[in-house]
Structure 1
Amino acid sequence: MNTILIGIAGGTGSGKTTLADKLIDSFGDDEVSILRHDNYYKRHDDMCYEERSKLNYDHPDAFDTALLCEHICKLKAGEQIYMPVYDYSIHNRSEETILVKPAPVIVLEGILIFAEPSLCDLMDIKVFVDTDADVRILRRIIRDVKERGRSLDSVITQYLTTVKPMHEQFVEPSKRRADIIIPEGGENIVALDMLIERVRKHLKNK
């Protein structure tokens, strides 16, 4: 297939998921497919819940990059894949999968996707969503407390012990690999329109 892979990266709470969703919503289901990096956390059936809860999920090694690269190559070759589903309540993959069909445009979104050279090599357009740290932590607190049922103390502790250090070590430096840097993600209408137009041009010429 004549497929382009658009990678959308950025720190936690930066707005990358909003940008990816708005991009996808602008096209038909047969035109754009979405892959979520969070769904590719490694499976840890060999560990109990307490052990899994202590793992550093903000490090590149937490992800099954080989499987994700394999899935991307299959989609580019016109094959459907079954994306794993990660269950935050048990800190492990669930038994469910999501069918992802090949499409002319594939969007891959995740915090650490630019930290992996093997993933970057597969991307045609790399977009980094750049948002101030204070905005990002507030968004993360709201999401984790309201949507994932976590305590405020646990969210803050995780942010200070792993999220912030890993952002400084891996996410921020990976910004240099981006082709486009977008402030404020999906709220940046001008940048979103430019990205949509780039996708439309590809679909027209495919």
Structure 2
Amino acid sequence: MPTLSLSPCLIGVSGGPCSGKSTVCQKIVEALQSKAGMGQANRVTVIAMENFYKPKTAEQRDLALHGNYNLDHPSAFHEQLLFNTLKDLLNGQTVKIARYDAGKYEHIKGVFDTIEPVPVIIVEGILVFYFPEIRNLFQMKLFVDTDADTRLARRVLRDMKEHGRNLEHILAGYINHVKPSFEDFCLPTKKYADVIIPRGADNHVAVDLIIQHIRDFIQYKPGKTETQQSIEYNLRSRPH
């Protein structure tokens, strides 16, 4: 694929586990791809930070299955690999990313996703703003702000339905690792967000404003515009 004449617009989406980050990303992708007249030159892709977990031993995977291994600590991620991957994309290079199986806590052997340097690249994950060298790559930073009760309820339903885990192990992992790691490492990075989205994807007004700004960004490739400043003011002044 030929390199782009302009670097991709790199957008970071953070927030607590099960806050609705993936849903917000999906709504952005659907809106951009469905816009009339948007062709191949206006594609968008999403990269999940979970694909950059460090490899785990069999013992560590077993601990994780029982809620006794912290997957939300910064040390669980290969931040240098994520940084190098994003830099390559910003330099117009196509990359391959190993696909992670969240149900088994390991990468799928021999399975890679090919990511091209498309105009809009969204990176979502609980700690995408934690590492300064990665945080500084984003032209736009969004934080999905969803209350703890909602996030826990979603986690229980997801892990029981999709991964077949029992409630005791889910709650043990939440109490011992997920909740304290969110408070220690994820929540403090909220201050770096350009836009905070209360109630996540349910906040249709906020999501629509963000989508419109991304469209403007694609067209004009500015720094921080009056549009972005307006979005920040409107969203921060809305009640949580």
If the length of structure 2 is used for normalisation, what is the TM-score?
0.81
Partners of 1:120 and 1:92 in 2: how far apart?
A: 25
The amino acid across from 2:75 in the alignment is: D
Q: Is the 8 A contact 1:34 1:100 kept in 2?
A: no
Q: In structure 2, which of residues 67, 91, 94 is the aligned counterpart of residue 80 of structure 1?
A: 94
Equivalence for 2:158: 143
Q: How many residues align?
A: 203
Which structure 2 residues correspond to residues 1-206 of structure 1 after superposition, within 5 A? Answer: 1-28=6-33, 30-44=42-56, 47-48=57-58, 50-54=59-63, 55-95=69-109, 96-205=111-220
**1:158–1:101 CA distance, 2 compared to 1 (3 A):** same
Partners of 1:88 and 1:200 in 2: how far apart?
A: 32
Give the ranges of 4+ consecutive aligned residues of structure 1 lying more than 6 Å apart after TM superposition: none
Q: Say what the alpha-carbon RMSD is for the aligned residues.
A: 1.4
The amino acid across from 2:105 in the alignment is: H
Question: 1:130-189, CA deviations, whole angstroms, 9 ceiling, x for partnerless residues?
Answer: 111101100111111101111111110100000001011111111111111111111111
In structure 1, the gaps of 5 or more residues are none
Post-superposition offset of 1:53:
3.2
Partners of 2:60 and 2:207 in 1: how far apart?
A: 41
Partners of 2:153 and 2:60 in 1: how far apart?
A: 28
Partners of 1:200 and 1:2 in 2: how far apart?
A: 15
In structure 2, the gaps of 5 or more residues are 1-5, 34-39, 64-68, 222-240
Q: Is the 8 A contact 1:6 1:124 kept in 2?
A: yes
Q: Is the 8 A contact 1:8 1:16 kept in 2?
A: yes
The amino acid across from 1:62 in the alignment is: A
If the length of structure 1 is used for normalisation, what is the TM-score?
0.93
Q: Is the 8 A contact 2:8 2:120 kept in 1?
A: yes
Q: Out of 125-134 and 53-62, give the one that drifted further.
A: 53-62
Partners of 1:37 and 1:144 in 2: how far apart?
A: 19
Which structure has the larger Rg over C-alpha atoms?
A: 2
SS in 1 for 2:70: coil
Partners of 2:103 and 2:150 in 1: how far apart?
A: 25
Identity %: 38
Partners of 2:199 and 2:91 in 1: how far apart?
A: 33
Q: Out of 30-39 and 101-110, give the one that drifted further.
A: 30-39
Post-superposition offset of 1:51:
2.8
SS in 2 for 1:69: helix
